[in-house]
Amino acid sequence: MKYFFFSLFIFLNFSFAATAQMKSCCEPDGIKLVSSVPQSKGTLKMIKILDSINKNANPEDFYVMNTQRAELFKKKLLTEKDPNQRVNLYYQYCIESLNAGNTEEAINVLKQVMSTMGITGQNFPPQYKQFFDHLAISYMRKGELENCAANHNSQSCIIPIQGDGIHKLPYGSQVAIELYKIILSKYPDDLQSRYLLNIAYMTLGKYPAEVPKEWLIESGVFTQNNSSNIVLKDIAGKKGVDMNGISGGCVVEDLDNDGLLDIMASSYGLSDQIRYMHQMKDGTFKNETVSSGLVGITGGLNLVHADYNNDGFADIVVLRGGWWGKNAKFPFSLLKNNGNNTFEDVTVELGLYSPAPTQTASWGDFNNDGWIDLFVAHENYPSQLFINNKGKFKDVSAKYGLNITTFAKGCVWGDINNDGFPDLYLSALGAPNKLWLNKPGNIAGERKFEDISKAAGVEEPIYSFPTWFFDFDNDGWQDIFVSGYDTKRFSLVAEDAARDMMGMPAMGELPRLYHNNGNNTFTDVSNQYGVDHINYAMGCNFGDVDNDGWPDYYLGTGAPEYTTIVPNKLYRNVVGKKFEDITYATNTGHIQKGHAVAFADIDNDGDQDIYTVVGGAVEGDRFRNVLFENSAVTGNHWVKLKLEGVGSNRSAIGAKVSIKVKLADGSLQTFYHIVSTGSSFGSQSLIVDAGLGKAISIEAIEIQWPNTNQTKEIITGVAMDTVIEIKEGMGKQ
């Protein structure tokens, strides 16, 4: 935000309310944790590294250190004599106080500044508008904290807000409404304020009836078709997985091989403790962080998992430093899963120590040698391809021609030409996206990568963020989704949401849906398939919420500003012909900032639920994570496949699964899947959760294993609505 300097202003000398001190604890909820088990040497080494970085971090370099940043501005005010500069410092202090979660302090000081300057609804020239904007969103935030946070329930912050989601304590929204009326009376074309005014009325149960007609966003936008009868409800609190934190990553996987999916989640703050939630037999989750060996392993904007050492247990990479620039020399971590609900950090020991900012990485066996490799994309630092040599790693980026220094925001492996070797797609911020074709090298058995981005037609959007490969039309060729993320419009995200709701042209970057033509080129079908809507997606993933066999997707949306309370979005795939927005019909339009997303059948009832990490980019923008339980009654069938590689990597990542089913009319339908953790921001289970629609039987399951010979196997005699384990070699070749 731009800060204005005022040439005619008296010397200000306000007194400050007490501000919160920096928390010494690691737990994002404010609870001090102490490990109840001995920790490995590697873990203790990483804890020492992280602790040193955190203690020496300069608040001016890290926008998440908001309490300390507010204190810096407060100290500067003690010595600053220039009245113009003092105004600016007070204003910045208010912003950082709000970002730190000190909402009342931000409101009180800002009101004092405005009173002293004579800023009123009647005296409101353009240079003062920012004061009203900031005060209005501060009161909106007050309402959120008093209701959605302090009195949280399953309908909190989900639009259209209704039922228990309506604020019981109305004061914050009431004041915000009056302030937005003042703003709109002077600036009637301010679509961001118009959007926020409508949301404020909604929080009080007064939308649309009491919204002034000239500023109403018509309620018809919230009326949607739900022909598949998809029903989703947030039960995170009931299950014990509504962890409170800021933005972060998640892994949803059976981490101890007991047949129940567990959850690991991170929070972005420098000292925020990673958390391990172990699912119990009754379907609830137990927080086993203190007994997991992970106490002191902090931070991380994203997580991604795979079985790097082929021991049968999923291991986890924790990615740190994303968005923080050149000074964010944080190492990522590899957490080895010991198989007994404990983990140890093996980053340094295995040759992975790399202090550079990142929030995206992807596991893939690029040479099909049976050991899963790791690509880590950095932000304006050289990205790294780590080859896995039987459980130890070496950076071979230069050898394989992957000399990448772009500001990378997403990376995923996918086989675009069906040659059995994974290719690499990278989403960049402010530069063309990249697609590298994995080709035979000059020496037998070697591989090399060729940049085919331009020829393939997949360079846009120029400002992009998360991405994934999936076969959205079940033609056997992997397609690409990549989200637009226009950082130039961070302060206007709510305006863009209003424009989309009102049918106005988009101003920011739009997502792209690229259809694979089968010849190393792609066609942009975003408009044809109805996905060319502004979304500002961060975390996201895909799955099949109605078990019809066609992959749907969920987008976690947002940007750092508090004004960015725009809905996360759920899109349903209509038999491969189009995507329809079913967000409001399914009650999944959460307006807190959505980060990592994972589809998974968490309760083992045959349909996929959705888990998402919710929270913003600043210290005070904390919220509770969400678990949308799927209780849809569709009449569709399903099958779950748990693959185990032998000659392939044990996780079977990259395995291609085609399921041929018979329909009632005697015709055959094939559904295609790839074993992966999904998108670049959210790590979902490697179990293949396959919807079968109205099939009457499974005719055959074909698996192409990602091994040296790319073995194909056929499995028959599989019943629908069952879970089967398939070990490489058990099928017919």
- For residues 318 and 284, membership in a common domain is answered with yes
Confidence of residue 660 (pLDDT cuts 50, 70, 90): very high
Considering the domain boundaries, does residue 185 fall inside one?
Answer: no
Q: Decide if 225 is inside a domain.
A: no
Residue 445 makes CB contacts below 8 A (sequence gap 6+) with 367
- Beta strand ranges found along 288-339 (DSSP E): 302-306, 315-319, 333-337
Residue 376 and residue 462 in one domain: yes
Tokens of 55: 């203690």
Domain end call among 630, 647, 675: 630
Tell me, yes or no, whether 482 and 625 share the same domain.
Answer: yes
Say if residue 595 is in the same domain as residue 699.
Answer: no
Residue 551, domain member (yes or no): yes
Give residues with Cβ within 8 angstroms of 396, minimum separation 6: 385, 386, 387
Residue 316 to residue 318: CA distance in whole angstroms = 6
Give helix 103-117 / helix 83-99 axis angle, nearest 10°. Answer: 150
pLDDT tens digits along 586-630 = 999 999 999 999 999 999 999 999 999 999 999 999 999 999 999
Distance CA 46, CA 235 (A): 34
The answer to whether residue 290 sits within a structural domain is yes
- Say whether both 658 and 623 belong to one domain: no
Q: Does residue 20 surpass a pLDDT of 50? A: no
Lowest mean per-residue pLDDT among 26-30, 202-206, 370-374, 604-608: 26-30
Is residue 377 situated within a structural domain?
Answer: yes
**Cα(472)–Cα(578) distance, integer angstroms:** 9
Same domain, 519 and 655: no
| 527 lies in some domain | yes
Cα–Cα distance list, 90 to 109, 331, 693, 697 (Å) = 8, 35, 60, 69
Q: Is 552 in the same domain as 696?
A: no
Same domain, 603 and 563: yes
* Per-residue pLDDT at 664 exceeds 60: yes
If asked whether residues 444 and 560 sit together in one domain, one would say: yes
pTM (predicted TM-score): 0.95
User: Quick one: which H or E segment has residue 554?
Assistant: strand 552-557
Does the pLDDT of residue 4 top 80, yes or no?
Answer: no
Q: Tell me the average pLDDT of the chain.
A: 94
pLDDT reported for residue 493: 96
Within 396-533, strands assigned E span: 408-414, 423-428, 434-440, 447-451, 464-470, 479-484, 512-516, 522-524
State which residues form the domain around 597.
232-630
Q: What is the pLDDT of residues 305-319, one digit of tens each?
A: 999 999 999 999 999
Going edge to edge, which strands form the sheet with 408-414?
408-414, 423-428, 434-440, 447-451
Looking up tokens 């009101």 gives 111
pLDDT exceeds 80 at position 517 = yes
Residue 703 domain-assigned (yes or no): yes
171 pLDDT exceeds 60?
Answer: yes
How many angstroms separate the CA atoms of 315 and 426, rounded?
A: 23
Do 724 and 645 reside in the same domain of the chain?
A: yes
What is the helix (H) or strand (E) element at residue 42, kind and residue range? helix 41-56
In the structure encoding, which two tokens stand for residue 274, read together?
């990673």
Q: Are residues 582 and 604 in the same domain?
A: yes
Q: What is the pLDDT of residues 557-567, one digit of tens each?
A: 999 999 999 99
Q: What is the pLDDT of residue 9?
A: 32
Strands, sheet with 285-287, edge to edge from the N-terminal-most edge strand = 250-253, 262-265, 275-279, 285-287
The answer to whether the CB of 385 falls within 8 A of the CB of 402 is yes
What is the CATH classification number for the domain harbouring 720? 2.60.40
Q: What is the dihedral of CA 176, 170, 623, 512, to 10 degrees?
A: -50
The token pair that represents 564 in the structure block: 């960015």
Do residues 166 and 124 touch, judged by C-beta distance below 8 A?
no
Of 306, 447, 293, 423, the closest CA to residue 369 belongs to: 447
Cα distances (Å, whole numbers) of residue 246 to 170, 568, 595, 598, 618 = 25, 16, 9, 17, 7
Asked whether residue 316 falls in the same domain as residue 410, the answer is yes
Three-state secondary structure call for residue 49: helix
pLDDT of residue 274: 98
**Is the dihedral angle over the CA atoms 109, 113, 116, 120 positive or is it negative?**
negative
Where is the domain boundary, 615, 630, 645? 630
Residue 260, domain CATH: 2.130.10.130
Q: Is residue 64 part of a domain?
A: no
> Tens digits of per-residue pLDDT, 450-502?
999 999 999 999 999 999 999 999 999 999 999 999 999 999 999 999 999 99
Q: Which of 176, 111, 114 is nearest to 144 (CA)?
A: 176
Q: How confident is the model at residue 19 (pLDDT cuts 50, 70, 90)?
A: very low
Alpha-carbon gap, residue 349 to 331, rounded angstroms:
13
* 43-58: pLDDT as tens digits: 999 999 999 999 999 9
Q: Could you give the number of structural domains in the chain?
A: 2
Closest CA to 469 of 318, 678, 283, 653: 678
- DSSP one-letter code for 625: -
* DSSP states of 222-262: G----TT---EEE-HHHHT---EESS--EEEE-SSSSSS-E
Quick one: pLDDT band at residue 3, thresholds 50, 70, 90?
very low
Q: What is the mean pLDDT of residues 686-701?
A: 98
Kindly indicate the confidence band of residue 731, based on its pLDDT and cuts at 50, 70 and 90.
confident
Least confident of 226-230, 245-249, 515-519: 226-230
Question: Of 630, 649, 681, which residue constitutes the final position of a domain?
Answer: 630
Q: Are strands 609-614 and 626-630 parallel, antiparallel or unpaired?
A: antiparallel
